[in-house]
Amino acid sequence: MSDSGPLNRRVLTVARREFFARVRSRWFLFSTLVVPLLFVGAMILPAVLVDRSTSEPKPLLIVDETEERLSGRLIELLAEEGVPARRLPVRDGSSNSTPTALDSLRSRILAEEGTVEEERAAAWLHLPPGLLESGRATLVEDRETGPLLRRSVSRALREVVTTERLSRAGLAAESIDAVLSPTSVEIEPLRVEDGPAGLRQALGFVFAMALYVMFIVYGQMIARGVLEEKTSDIVEILVSSLRPWEMMLGKILGIGAVGLSQVAIWATVIGIASILGLASAAPALAELGLDLSQVAVPWDLIGWSMVFFFTGYLLYSGVFAAAGAMVTSEQDIQQVLIPALIPIVLPILVLPAAMQTPDAAWVVVMSLIPFFSPILMPMRVAASHVPLWQLLLAIALLLVTTYLLARAAGRIYRMGILMKGKRPNLPEFVRWLRHG
């Protein structure tokens, strides 16, 4: 082990202490377990909820006033779409198709409000007399039923009416089936290896959010760690044994290693859960036209995200270490953390807009700026095809900025760690940067 290089014995000793002190803490155990549980919960919960809602779906109640009793075939078709439907008995005196028929349905529904029948209806479909000619039916909703039900109803109704019309025109049943045989549009990505575009984009968003959360969590951990050493006066012994930059680097490496171990644990658990979860969901997904065998693991996205995690972490950790060294009490730390957090929060604010237009000029420019690139670039890699030169330029700019910032942070750290009492004012601060 070298005794003077950046990774000398003392730096590694500090890094090892930081790592074990945190990995053995209750916080680590808790957060490492809770996050995968939340994730697994988030995957299982919708399935559980869907199961419960489909076990007893509310039926569509049909008031059929057509001469042809079209509701019979309609109910069959709706059942195929998974929409349960029942016919409501038609009451006397409502057999003339006037606007009042709808009104009478309304008043009938309202009159039955609160009864068992009303409670269990998803919506009411009114098939008026002369439907074949007019082609117009009415769906009465109390609560919005959503686009899925509306589309199912209108598709089924169209098929019933068209079949009946063709049959009247004298077409044989087989011919009608041939005419109405279903069509479909298959969706294919341009580059087969990419897999479905939507999934990649979603993954890009998840990665960007994950990077954001990790930068904030581990950054604050660094700032608070520095402050802890100051408030508990350990720093005095440390500076008599090693240089300030060695303390700072050791702390950054140790906490970075905590972050990596945590991510590795999460990735393993979530990966296993996803494989199991997706396997069980495969039949359902296949029905939606999603073939799992087509979904390739986006190695390029994972790889670039890792690169930007490392470089971004190094950049931000210097900022947070300096922030921690600048304050002397727990009360003051928020004041310096907020400015330090702004460059991390800003790309998250523009993230949704940037995802829509990942190659717009402003997004490209922002994704090259060192403070924003660690979060925006992985998103762009997911949502678009980023030219290699842009990726390399972003990383080069990041590394240069990290180097310059680490030097400045080292000076602030050196001056700040032994400071007690008052927070430095701006002129003092500038003096530190110049002479530290």
Partner 1 sequence: MADPVIRLEGTSKSFGATRAVEDLSFELPRGSICGLLGPNGAGKTTTIRIILDIVGPDTGTVEVFGGPVTHEARSRIGYLPEERGMYQRMHVAEQLAFFGELKGMGHGEALSEARSWLDRLDLGDRADDRVETLSKGMQQKVQFIATVLHRPELLILDEPFSGLDPLNVDLLREVVLERQRDGATVLFSTHMIEDAEKICERVCMIAGARKVLDGPVRDVKRESGLEHLVIAYRGSPEFLDHPAVASATDHGQWVEIGLAAGADPQTILRRALETGVTIDRFELTEPSLREIFLERAGRRQRANGDGADA
- Residue numbers at the binding site for partner 1 (CB under 8 A): 3-4, 9-10, 13-14, 17, 21, 25, 229, 232-243, 418
Work out how close the CB of 318 gets to partner 1 at its nearest, in angstroms, rounded to a whole number. Answer: 22
Instruction: Give min distance, CB of 44 to partner 1, in A.
Output: 36
Closer of 234 and 284 to partner 1 (Cβ): 234
Closer Cβ to partner 1, 154 or 329, answer by number: 329
Given a contact cutoff of 8 angstroms between Cβ atoms, the answer to whether 219 and 316 are in contact is: yes
C-beta of 239 vs 260, nearer to partner 1: 239
CB of 229 to partner 1, least distance (A): 8
Residue 242 C-beta: closest distance to partner 1, Å: 6
Of 9 and 150, nearer to partner 1 (C-beta) is 9
The minimum distance between CB 377 and partner 1, in angstroms, equals 37
Q: Is the CB of 119 or the CB of 233 nearer to partner 1?
A: 233
DSSP characters over 103-134:
HHHHHHHHHTTTSHHHHT-SEEEEE-TTHHHH
**How would you classify the pairing of strands 85-88 and 60-64?**
parallel
CA–CA dist 411, 5 (Å, integer): 18
Helices 388-416 and 426-435, axial angle in degrees (round to 10) = 110
Nearer to partner 1, 239 or 270 (CB): 239
Q: Which residues lie closer than 8 Å to 82 by C-beta, 6 or more apart?
A: 54, 57, 152
For the bound state, the minimum distance from the C-beta of residue 20 to partner 1, rounded and expressed in Å, comes to 9
Instruction: Render the burial of 218-251: b for 16+ CB within 10 Å, e for the rest.
Output: bbbbbbbbbbebbeeeebeebbeebebbbbbbbb
User: 3-state DSSP call for residue 146?
Assistant: coil
CA distance 39 to 316: 26
Tell me how far, at minimum, the Cβ of 28 lies from partner 1, in Å. 13
Nearer to partner 1, 9 or 407 (CB): 9
Q: Which element (helix H / strand E) includes 63?
A: strand 60-64
Say if CB 100 and CB 119 are below 8 A apart: no
Place of tokens 């644990």: 265
